[in-house]
Structure 1
Amino acid sequence: MSEPTVDQLADVVERTGRLISGIAPDQWTEPTPCAEWDVRALVDHVVAGNALFTASLSGQGGKPDGYVDSAERMLAAFRAPGALDKVVEVPFGRVPGMVALHLRIADVVVHGWDIARATGQRADYPDDVVEQALAFSLAALPAVRSDRSPFAPPQPVDDDAPVLERLAACLGRKVS
């Protein structure tokens, strides 16, 4: 499995930002594939996740001013010298910065898929980045204690389904 890059994270963050920008005013209360969240709560979750990773990497907290601000702060934290080499605290426990980068890419991509599904948009992420996120997720999920996992159990999906659907199903989304 190849290692992710901060440039890949920047790309998926930007693509997810386009999906967020494409949310119509009447879609913010629509349900999402994340059963407990509507579109607004899901976007708030992504912003909070960006802030969590920023704080973990940089020690700098503070409430971001929306998605773009949270994304810029997070990317700056991942780009800081030594960020990928340090051990950081994430919801699963303490992990190397490179693992945190893998986690954030997978999370942003899957939540972008969630937003696209909920709002009738098309999620467009590079297949190679999604393949990398899927390989990482398949390797990492068995090590996550069930009481610490933020994901639903993997769902069935055809082996020949698009890679983004296979990632979504791996992380508990029903894709059919």
Structure 2
Amino acid sequence: MTNTTDPRPLYREALAWTTGLIDTVREDQLTASTPCADFDVRTLLGHLVATAERARVIGEGGDPGTVPLVVTDIPGDGYGDAYRSATERMWPLWTDDDRLDATVTAPWGTVPGRAAIWGYINETLVHGWDLAIATGQPPETRPELAEAMLAVARHAIPAETRGGHVPFADVVEPLPAAGPTERLANWSGRKSV
């Protein structure tokens, strides 16, 4: 799927879903823990903004390592606007179809542009799930979107190569009733809650 599929429509959908989640986060939830052990809600929101900024830098042909892992200078009620602004700056760089096959530098290596986009779809959906769980929101995106990403993730993030330079915990066995977004989060090492 990653070799020929245009991931941009799915990325746009993932970003829209996550934007909706961000918009409903209350300031009193910013210190809540999330299923991602590295982040509370505030730092997770700052990380989501950073992922859109990194996708922009990648689209420019730059090094995403120049963008911090977490954007920290956002007021408590400004995450939705910051995320929207970051995605709006990023999209024009990815409208050229040639960017999909151009070689780019992603945090995980030198890859075709479409592989970088797939990586950020995964990041957006899994961290969207984290945010939804932490803030009591519905944690499932459109099933077909999550299933498409899960199919790519199973190939791109093998279960056997976790830890070290691969920043994913071991795959978690999904609960029988887990939806596709939760199963994607499980594949990324998140425990069901």
TM-score, normalized by length of structure 1?
0.89
Pick from 102, 124, 131: which aligns with 1:86?
Answer: 102
What code does the residue aligned with 2:146 have? V
**Residue matched to 1:74:** 90
How far does residue 167 in structure 1 lie from its aligned partner after superposition?
Answer: 0.4
The Cα offsets for residues 43-95 of structure 1, whole Å up to 9 and x where unpaired, read as 11111111112111114788997111111122222223421111111111111
Cα distance in 2 between the residues matched to 1:59 and 1:96: 11
**Residue matched to 1:98:** 114
Cα distance in 1 between the residues matched to 2:139 and 2:41: 15
Pick from 21, 38, 41: which aligns with 2:40?
Answer: 38
**Residue matched to 2:191:** 174
Over the matched positions of the two proteins, sequence identity in percent amounts to 35
Shift in CA distance, 80/73, structure 1 to aligned 2, threshold 3 Å: farther
Secondary structure in 2 matching 1:84:
helix
Shift in CA distance, 101/41, structure 1 to aligned 2, threshold 3 Å: same
Is residue 56 from structure 1 mapped to residue 58 from structure 2 by the alignment?
Answer: yes
The Cα offsets for residues 124-145 of structure 1, whole Å up to 9 and x where unpaired, read as 4221111111011111112867
Shift in CA distance, 145/158, structure 1 to aligned 2, threshold 3 Å: closer
Partners of 2:106 and 2:116 within 8 A in 1: yes
Pick from 142, 155, 162: which aligns with 2:179?
Answer: 162
Partners of 1:6 and 1:75 within 8 A in 2: no
Pick from 131, 140, 144: which aligns with 2:147?
Answer: 131
Matched residue count:
176
**Residue matched to 1:109:** 125
Pick from 91, 94, 118: which aligns with 2:134?
Answer: 118
Segments of 4+ moved more than 6 angstroms: 60-65
Secondary structure in 1 matching 2:117:
helix
**Residue matched to 2:74:** none
Cα distance in 2 between the residues matched to 1:121 and 1:96: 34
Is residue 8 from structure 1 mapped to residue 24 from structure 2 by the alignment?
Answer: no
What code does the residue aligned with 2:172 have? Q
Unaligned 5+ segments in structure 1 are none
